[in-house]
Amino acid sequence: MSAKMMMKSTTDTSSLASFPTNSESSFFHNQSKSGNHETVFMSNAYNLQLLEGFNALRSQVLLCDVTLISGSSRFPVHRALLAACSPYFKEMFTKDNHTEQISRNEGAKYTWFSESIELRGISSEGLKHIVEFMYTGKLPISMQSVQNILAVARHMQIKQVLDFCMEFLVSAVDVNTCVDIIHIAEVFNMTQLEEKAYNYLLDRFPEFMKSNQLQKLTFENMSHVLESNDLKVMSELDVFAATLKWIMYDHSRQVYIRKLMEKIRFPLMPPRDLMVHVNVVDFMRSKCNDLLLEASSYHMLPHSQPIVPSNRTMIRSNDQRLVVLGGADNTDEVSNQLKVFNRELTAYTLLPSMDNGVHSHCVAVLNNFLYVLGGQNHFEERGKTSVANVTRYDPRFNTWMKIASMNEHRAGFHVSAIPAYNRLYAVGGVNSVGRLSSVECYCVEEDRWKYVASTQNALCDHNGSVHRDKLYVSGGFSDGHFSDAMLCYNPKHDIWERRSPLQFPRGWHSQATIKDKIYVIGGNTGINKRVDVLETEVYSPDFDQWTTVTPISMGQSEAGACVLENKIYIVGGYCWSARRCIKVIQTYEPEKDEWERVGNLPRGLAGLRLCTLTLPHHLVR
């Protein structure tokens, strides 16, 4: 039988117009327990017709059995419909509907048969919107009405309306509404909405601070903004200017001067800005002079900046990026570039270049300051043109500065930073004299290198990483062959110890620490014929034991390596089986024991280095 049923010829044809068409109905076959087949019809328009019917009755005040009162406004409605739409009214009308009285709103008491219900503290405008929604399913929302609608919907526990209000507010966030939406989210404890509105404000702060919305922020709002690392500004001077504008708008806000100024990162301002724009403000000299002194001291001791313990010296950013430094390509051209990759590893931007190209060098990051050490500026016989130079890149000001040179020229060596001691340690390497066993330590506060205990045996092309404030160095070339040694240096006692050896001797490999494990990856072995080492070994310092995990998919010697978000990144290097520098970027995820090829460099490079830096937003946009 079709959905549109045929009628006998004696039937009045005009009555056919009231029958549903195919677009208004649907059906499906069903088999009853008795085995008889039946057809179940479903009207797609019935729900709407039912609401329209109730709404028609309401508009004509027919069969209405209760009146909602808010202020001077009265709304005749149907008790059954209210109970079906609102858990609040369902409880009121059904809880012991013979005897018990329901206490509501400041002592007002209603029974299930009450003819009128006064809703105190509920806006008539909001109640009007909710009643309309109950009878029509339609809800017009604007920034002027949303707070009243939210208040009534929450009181009456109508989830659909709460969801609509959330959807509206999320879509309405812009420079001119974000503060109002933050305040609405605070009132109604809508944490996700509050976070989204704050994120919008932080992301577009330069535009926001030019609007009149800045003055709407409360002290708590302003504190939240100033504490955030996600505040996207061109300079910290802009943050100070915005805060000053907020304070000067209302004299009563001057009680917050000290608390707000403590959240501004004055050391991140150039000395000239401090002198010309900050020091001239009266309250800075009278109430915040110590903050100015802190900033001045920071700039007076540039070499010690990485070890100044203050939140005010931290970059306003949580954007940690992979940075590729130097390296030599297949034509022996040596790069001086710093490439900063986006998160997808599909594109990069350039930071200020180093003065000279360099390969076979080392990098170390101490409290987000980048040190570039030694290496060779030209692609020549290994170690012949090695240098002792050390430079430091400061992402706060996007500048380079020279640091005290090492005592010895070094290439093919290893450097690690150990933050607990505020020291850098340079181990072994090679120069024009030959391979080195010496180890030297850089004292940040003194800007000076000094020798510490040597490794005894000269070695180069090794690698290392730090675990629990101890430096572990593996492999390398020593005594005419590739080594399987694992050495551990204890800075506290200035001693080296031998640990269980590698299973696979190697050099020019990568090494990284994740949690309580040290990973040794790639490299090569063999004297007369170079052979790629694909095996990945994992060392447990706690148990002095080695295990193997999934091998790397292709040879990568003299590659760059670092850890980001608990993954090891291996970049570029030389593949001996292919006999060329490669541009592959691979990651290893220990929890899955899986290697994945995730991207490519723009060209093949070997002798390059890789690190992570947290960079200001304006450098990586």
- The whole-angstrom separation of Cα 227 and Cα 231 is 8
Position of tokens 């020279």?
402
Residue 206 φ/ψ, nearest 5 degrees: -55, -40
Is the model's pLDDT at 120 over the cut of 60? yes
Q: CB-based burial of residue 55 (10 Å sphere; 0-12 exposed, 13-18 middle, 19+ buried)? A: middle
pLDDT recorded at residue 393: 98
Nearest-angstrom CA–CA distance, 609 and 113: 80
13 CB-contact burial (10 Å; exposed 0-12 / middle 13-18 / buried 19+): exposed
Cβ neighbours of residue 128 under 8 Å, at least 6 residues apart?
Answer: 73, 75
Average pLDDT, the chain: 91
The mean per-residue pLDDT over the stretch 83-105 comes to: 71
Report yes or no: 615 and 604 within 8 Å, Cβ to Cβ: no
Of the candidates 394, 418, 411, 443, the residue with the CA atom closest to the CA atom of residue 268: 394
Distance of CA 613 to the CA centre of its chain: 14
Reduce the DSSP state of residue 120 to 3 states and report it. coil
Mean pLDDT of 102-118: 60
- Alpha-carbon distance 465 to 509, whole Å? 12
Q: Is the pLDDT of residue 73 over 50?
A: yes
Q: State the pLDDT at residue 109.
A: 58
CB atoms within 10 A of CB 45: 13
Q: What is the pLDDT of residues 304-341, one digit of tens each?
A: 999 987 899 999 999 999 999 999 999 999 999 999 99
Are residues 571 and 610 in contact, defined by beta-carbon separation less than 8 angstroms? Answer: yes
Match 């694909």 to its residue by tokens. 534
Would you give the distance in Å from CA 284 to the centre of its chain?
Answer: 34
Please give the structure tokens belonging to residue 190.
Answer: 């809508």
390 neighbors 371 (Cβ within 8 angstroms):
yes
Mean pLDDT (whole number) for 39-63: 86
Residue 371 CA from chain centroid, whole number: 25
- Give the model's confidence band at 23: pLDDT under 50 very low, under 70 low, under 90 confident, else very high: low
Give the closest residue to 85 by CA, choosing from 9, 23, 157. 157
Number of H helices, E strands in the chain: 16, 39
Phi/psi at 129 (5° precision): -65, -40
**DSSP track, 404-469:** PPPSS-BBS-EEEEEGGGTEEEEE--EETTEEB--EEEEETTTTEEEEE---SS-BBS-EEEEETT
Rounded to whole angstroms, the Cα distance separating 3 from 29 reads 12
CA–CA separation, 69 and 58 (whole Å):
15
Answer yes or no: is pLDDT of 106 > 80. no
Length of the chain: 621
* Sign of the torsion angle spanned by Cα atoms 397, 399, 402, 404: positive
The single residue listed with the structure tokens 């085995």 is 35
3-state secondary structure of 353: coil
Please spell the DSSP secondary structure of 204-242, one letter per residue.
Answer: THHHHTTSGGGGG--HHHHHHHHH-TT---S-HHHHHHH
Q: Whole-angstrom Cα distance, residue 556 to residue 7?
A: 82
Domains of the chain: 20-45 (no CATH), 64-172 (3.30.710.10), 201-300 (1.25.40.420), 320-620 (2.120.10.80)
Residue 581 reports pLDDT greater than 70? yes
Q: Residues with Cβ < 8 Å from 512, sequence gap 6 or more?
A: 465, 518, 519, 521, 561, 562, 563, 568
Residues 6+ away with beta carbon under 8 Å from 229: 314, 315, 316, 317, 318
SS (H, E, C) 78-112: CHHHHHHHCHHHHHHHHCCCCCCCEEECCCEEECC
CB-CB contact of 216 with 225 (8 Å): no
Radius of gyration of the chain from its Cα atoms, rounded to whole angstroms: 36
Q: Report the amino acid identity of residue 520.
A: V
For the stretch 522-574, pLDDT in tens is 999 988 788 999 999 999 999 999 999 999 999 999 999 999 999 999 999 99
Give the strands of the sheet with 594-600, arranged side by side: 560-564, 567-571, 584-589, 594-600
One-character DSSP codes across 234-292: S-HHHHHHHHHHHHHH-GGGGGGHHHHHTTS-GGGS-HHHIIIIITTSHHHHHH-HHHH
Query: What pLDDT was estimated at residue 115?
Result: 83
Question: And the tokens for 71?
Answer: 């202020």
- This prediction's pTM: 0.86
Is residue 98 over pLDDT 80? no
The pLDDT assigned to 30 comes to: 62
Q: What end-to-end distance do the CA atoms of the chain give, in Å?
A: 64
**What's the rounded mean pLDDT across residues 599-619?**
96
Q: At what angle do helices 124-136 and 159-172 cross, to 10 degrees?
A: 110
Contact 326, 339 (CB under 8 A): no
How confident is the model over 182-237, as pLDDT tens digits? Answer: 999 999 999 999 999 999 999 999 999 989 999 999 999 999 999 999 999 989 99
Q: Are 585 and 571 in contact (CB under 8 A)?
A: yes
SS3 (DSSP) at 560: strand
| pLDDT given at position 112 | 55
Q: pLDDT band for 107, please (50, 70, 90 cuts).
A: very low
> pLDDT-derived band of residue 40, with 50, 70 and 90 as boundaries?
confident
> Can you tell me the mean pLDDT for 456-470?
97
